[in-house]
């Protein structure tokens, strides 16, 4: 069987199973088995696949058909143009979370930040993306999961930023040793009702936002005072339809602060930005 034939058949199988982005996922699985780039794959599409490689490829396709995410199968996920190792200990980074990175970097250009904290770092994708673009900043990355921090540590080493990202285990802001200029968080915001309809492959701890999906976000917001410097910034990723509740919560806690909403590429309000104009109470 040629590369083209394998790719076409896998696409058909994944599409029949209603798996989104079947062409891309088929390509990622085949490239993983062959250990080749996208360019190499399409430069020689009629090249025969070795029997052992073909057998491994179909075993991966079978795993994907069972619902296992491609990122866990290959151990890789691209985020903000970078390659990250992922496994079932961490949530798979989503493209919409790149908006958090973009808005944080834009803030840092006009408001130099000596200290930045990412709360609930998981794989470390956001913290590492920030560290690579803000070489002068010290970055704290917290997570309650020791297992997740091991993945983040590996990724920090792979991207050569282990000396500038301080990985801290603990709940929310508790492990932070000092107040920071910018705080970034992509916390669990999936409601329990929605959670029951999702696959069981990703860690529940990283997705469960409580009854209404806002439990973890509310907990963080109530801890911000004393951990965010005067004139500091808080950036939160939120779920669809949560903007009114989160905005109301922030206004009740920080009545003099400025609040902005930013949509993702689908037009969904995805990032909330809180700008302190006076010291928090």
In angstroms, what CA-CA distances link 196 with 120, 141, 207, 211? Answer: 22, 29, 11, 12
Quote the pLDDT of residue 246: 95
Provide the pLDDT for residue 213.
80
The pLDDT, as a whole number, for residue 198 is 67
Instruction: Determine, yes or no, domain membership for 60.
Output: yes
CA distances from 85 to 71, 82, 124, 148, 156 (A): 9, 10, 10, 11, 10
pTM check: above 0.95: no
Give the per-residue pLDDT at 199.
67
Domain assignment present for 263: yes
Domain range enclosing 45: 3-74
- Residues 210, 271 within the same domain: yes
* Residues of the chain scoring pLDDT < 50: none
Domain count within the chain:
2
| Both structure tokens of 19 | 């798996």
Q: Is 89 a domain residue? A: no
> pLDDT per residue over 139-164, tens digit each?
999 999 999 999 999 999 999 999 99
In degrees and rounded to multiples of 5, residue 9 shows phi and psi of -65, -45
**Judgement on whether residues 45 and 150 belong to the same structural domain of the protein:** no
Do 139 and 180 fall within a single domain? Answer: yes
User: Rounded distance, CA 130 to CA 127, Å?
Assistant: 5
**Helices 215-223 and 243-253, interaxial angle, to 10°?**
20
Q: What is the pLDDT of residue 30?
A: 96
Q: Which residues contact 33 (CB under 8 A, 6 or more apart)?
A: 53, 56, 57, 60
Tell whether 87 is covered by a domain.
no
Is residue 223 a part of any domain in this protein?
A: yes
Give the per-residue pLDDT at 139.
Answer: 97
Per-residue pLDDT at 278:
58
Would you list the DSSP string of 116-169?
EEEES-TTSHHHHHHHHH-TT-EEEEEES-HHHHHHHHHHHHHTT-TTTEEEEE
Pick the last residue of a domain from 74, 105, 131: 74
DSSP SS3 for 258: strand
Task: Give the Cα separation of 209 and 190 in Å (integer).
Answer: 5
Q: CA–CA separation, 83 vs 105, rounded Å?
A: 19
Write down the mean pLDDT value for the chain: 93
- What would the pLDDT profile of 199-223 be if each residue is shown by its tens digit? 678 787 777 777 788 889 999 999 9
CATH of the domain at 100: 3.40.50.150
Q: What are phi and psi of 248, to 5 degrees?
A: -65, -40
Question: Do 173 and 225 lie in a common domain?
Answer: yes
The enclosing domain of 51 has a CATH number of 1.10.8.10
């Amino acid at each position: 069987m040629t590369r083209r034939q394998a790719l076409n058949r896998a696409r058909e199988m994944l599409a029949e199973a209603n798996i989104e982005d079947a062409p891309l996922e088929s390509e990622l699985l085949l490239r993983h088995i062959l250990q080749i780039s996208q360019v190499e794959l399409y430069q020689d599409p009629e090249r025969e696949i070795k029997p052992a490689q073909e057998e491994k490829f179909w075993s991966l396709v079978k795993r994907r058909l069972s619902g296992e995410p491609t990122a866990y199968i290959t151990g890789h996920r691209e985020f903000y143009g970078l390659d990250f190792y992922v496994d079932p200990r961490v949530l798979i980074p989503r493209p919409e979370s790149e908006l958090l990175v973009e808005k944080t970097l834009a803030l840092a250009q006009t408001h130099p930040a000596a200290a930045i904290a990412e709360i609930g770092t998981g794989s470390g994708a956001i913290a590492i993306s920030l560290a690579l673009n803000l070489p002068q900043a010290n970055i704290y990355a917290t997570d309650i999961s020791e297992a997740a921090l091991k993945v983040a540590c590996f990724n920090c080493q792979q991207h050569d930023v282990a000396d500038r990202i301080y990985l801290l285990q603990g709940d929310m802001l508790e492990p932070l040793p000092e107040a920071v200029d910018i705080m970034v968080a992509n916390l669990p915001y999936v409601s329990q009702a929605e959670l029951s309809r999702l696959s069981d492959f990703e860690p529940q701890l990283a997705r469960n936002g409580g009854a209404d999906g806002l439990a973890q976000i509310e907990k963080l917001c109530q801890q911000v005072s004393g951990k965010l410097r005067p004139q500091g910034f808080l950036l939160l990723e939120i779920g669809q339809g949560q903007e009114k509740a989160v905005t109301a919560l922030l206004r009740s806690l920080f009545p003099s602060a400025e609040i902005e909403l930013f949509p993702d590429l689908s037009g969904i309000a995805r990032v909330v930005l809180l700008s302190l104009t006076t010291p928090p109470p």
